[in-house]
Structures are given as structure tokens and as C-alpha cells.
Amino acid sequence: MSGIRIGKPFATCAGLLTLGVLTTGCSSPKPTSPLRQATELWGELKPVVSVKELMRDMIDPASDYVFDSVKTQVTKNGVIETEPKTDADWEKIRIGAVTLAEGVYLLKIPRPFAPAGDENNSTGPDSTELSPAQIKAKLEADPVLWNAKIEALRNVGLEVLEIVKKRDAKELWDAGENLDKACEGCHIIYWYPGDKALLERLDRSLEKLSGQQGDKTGRRGTPGQPPK
């Protein structure tokens, strides 16, 4: 009795089937983006406070660690120079820089711009601030600009971290000016774009940061607090 012969078409199909199984077994799944992996691992990130509260309770106090690290005060008793000298001084500046660089990314998480019922100083004839609804509309109209402002502040935090590594107090003056510009560059768009008086106060504060007479306290305001 002759053996069973497998025809060429059948052998070809069997070969293709085997190749398909091998290809499927060897191919790796498509890589998952880091953001998607984080979401799957930790779940959706949920905000605790509004933008206004986050700025007041985290970002602004952190920025003060940088702003207050170097300054010149002219008093009736003479000129008082302040700069970091001890390990504790530099550690405080580092804490401020880390908090700025990491904390500002929390502004990428969608959240209310102000607590419920808080409309900023956006009503009445003397109003100078945008309402939360107006700020939200600006962000939604140009989210790229919002993220650019976030990155600008983060870059200052990274700059200060490098300065801390070198412990170069002189560079903190420029970092303080960059921080002031990053803060005001965002506030003047999203918080008080019509406040011309603020621009004048900003110019005076930048002059003080450049080493001219006075204490470096005429800088940016913080959402929820009037500019100084």
C-alpha cells in the first residue's frame, strides 16, 4: 500500500501557518507611553486645590526661598547685604528650587482656577483681575501658551538647582530676576492683563533686582494676594 502524499498546495499552506504562528510568538507588543503606564499604575491624577490655592500655598512660598536668598537693603544705618553662607542657607534654596521645578508641573493637571465662589477681583468698576471663567477660556484657546509658561518657571527651578551645586551666590541675582520675569510673564496674561500700574511696579522691582537702591520686595504678586 502506497503512503499518503501531501500535495504542494497543502504543504505551502501549512508552512505559511507555521510562519504566522512563529511571527506572532516572536513579535513584541507595542510599547506603552510613560504617561499611559503611569495612569494605569496610579490611576488618574486628581487635584486637591485650585490653581489660586496651589500658587499661594506651594509655588509662592517656594519662590521666596530663592527671592530672599540674596538682597540689598539700604537703611539709615547703612547697606545690608544678604547672601547664602551656610549649608542650611543653601539647603533652603535647594528646597525652593526643587519645589518650583517639580511643583509647577501640578499646573498641568486640570483643576479649578479659584475656590468655589471666588471670582477674584473681577467685578466692579475698579476690577483689575480676570475671573476664573475668563482665565479658563484663555487656557482653552491656547493650551500651548499655558504649557510654555509652566516650562519657563520650571527652567528657573532647574537653573537654581545648578547654582546650588556650584554655590555661586552671585548667580542667584540673575536667577531671581529670571524667576520674577517667569512669574510676571504668566500673571500678566492669566491674572491681571489690564493692570498698567502693575507693569510700572514690575519695572521698579526689576531695577531693584539689578542692584539699585532698596530692598528687593517690590516683586510679583501671588494669586489671592495683591502685588507688592
Alpha carbon distances (Å) from 157 to 101, 182, 203: 5, 11, 22
H-helix or E-strand spanning residue 81 = strand 78-82
Write out the three cell numbers for 120. Answer: 477674584
| Euclidean distance between CA atoms 156 and 160, whole angstroms | 6
Which three cell numbers, joined as nine digits, stand for 111? 483643576
Q: Output the CA torsion 36→40→42→43 (10° steps).
A: 90
How does pLDDT run along the chain (228 residues), one tens digit per residue? 545 444 544 444 444 444 444 444 455 556 666 656 656 777 788 999 999 999 999 999 999 999 999 998 888 889 889 999 999 999 999 999 999 999 999 999 999 999 999 999 999 888 889 999 999 999 999 999 999 999 999 999 999 999 999 999 999 999 999 999 999 999 999 999 876 565 666 666 666 666 544 444 445 556 655 444
What's the pTM value of the predicted model, to 2 decimals? 0.70
CA distance 107 to 116: 18
Q: At 118, which helix (H) or strand (E)?
A: none
Mean pLDDT score across all residues of the chain = 82
What secondary structure letter does DSSP report for 222?
B
CB 115 within 8 A of CB 51: no
Whole-angstrom distance, CA of residue 83 vs CA of residue 70: 4
| Cβ neighbours, 10 Å, residue 164 | 23
Take residue 25 and report the three cell numbers written for it.
510568538
Q: In 3D, which of 172, 153, 162, 164 has the Cα closest to residue 220?
A: 153
**164-174 per-position pLDDT tens digit:** 999 999 999 99
